[in-house]
Amino acid sequence: MFVIRILSQIGKYFIMLKEIFSRHTKWNVMKQLILKEVNDLVIDSLGIVCFISFFVGGVVAIQTALNLTNPLIPKYLIGFATRQSVILEFAPTFVSIIMAGKMGSFITSSIGTMRVTEQIDALEVMGVNSLNYLVFPKIIALLLYPFVIGIAMFLGNLGGWMATVYGGFASSNEFITGLQEDFIPFHIAYAFIKTVVFAFILATIPSFHGFYMKGGALEVGKASTVSFVWTSVVIILMNYILTQMLLS
């Protein structure tokens, strides 16, 4: 029964995607909705992303430095390990999982509240495609999500540099040499490809759980929790699949 229920939910999700991209809302209305979602989802997330990225980059650098106990191992490996950790996994994947909690819960609760208060029913009575009206602006707004991840990459490496230099683990030149050592430009492209996929997941799965929830105010909280769990699971699965496809 569990497998059947999961398959039913997956089918329902893809039907929802079809509805999102049909019967578009008028552009003058949609434009305002997109700007609001950019503010709510992207700009409001910058603070937490910057804070976490800076200090996690510092922690990665410190832990790497503390494990380089052999004097024959060059100090520039601190910068190299920090760069690889931040660009390949931390910035695109783990920031997205954090955003599944922050951004995803906001999306699920806001749409779920509209469902509970029958605002979605009112939109449909007026002939508005409620899925396009509610979800499409979120998808468009999160096209800016890669810029957030780009900032996370920069601040992660900056935090690593500051922790290394001011912690006395290595010189600035050694850390920067490590940042430049064996740099593969495709790793940046790989990170941004993952980010675009994760942005779509962050916009649609929380919306799905909010739109199709049933019950009252208590169920809004439950839907937000379930939304966070499934968004995180799908991000991790897609991370594995994309890594196999793009880096193997």
Model pLDDT for residues 190-216, shown as the tens digit of each residue: 999 999 999 999 999 999 998 888 877
Q: What's the structural domain count of the chain?
A: 1
Cβ neighbours, 10 Å, residue 191: 23
Q: Is residue 241 part of a domain?
A: yes
Return the percentage of the chain with pLDDT > 90, whole number: 44
pLDDT of residue 25: 80
Q: Is residue 64 part of a domain?
A: yes
Q: Is residue 139 part of a domain?
A: yes
Q: Is residue 19 part of a domain?
A: no
Kindly state the greatest CA–CA separation across the chain. Answer: 73
- Say if residues 78 and 179 touch (Cβ distance below 8 Å): no
Cβ neighbours, 10 Å, residue 131: 24
Q: Is residue 4 part of a domain?
A: no
Q: Is residue 226 part of a domain?
A: yes
Q: Which domain holds residue 139?
A: 26-247
Write out the chain's pLDDT in tens, 248 residues. Answer: 778 888 888 888 888 888 888 888 888 888 999 999 999 999 999 999 999 999 999 999 999 888 887 777 788 888 898 999 999 888 899 999 999 998 989 999 999 988 888 888 888 888 888 888 889 999 999 999 999 999 999 999 999 999 998 888 888 898 899 888 888 889 999 999 999 999 999 999 999 998 888 877 778 888 888 999 999 999 999 999 999 998 87
Q: Is residue 184 part of a domain?
A: yes
Q: Is residue 15 part of a domain?
A: no
pLDDT of residue 154: 93
pLDDT of residue 75: 84
Give residue 72's identity as a one-letter amino acid code: L
Is-above-0.85 flag for pTM? Answer: yes
pLDDT of residue 35: 93
- Say if residues 187 and 88 touch (Cβ distance below 8 Å): yes
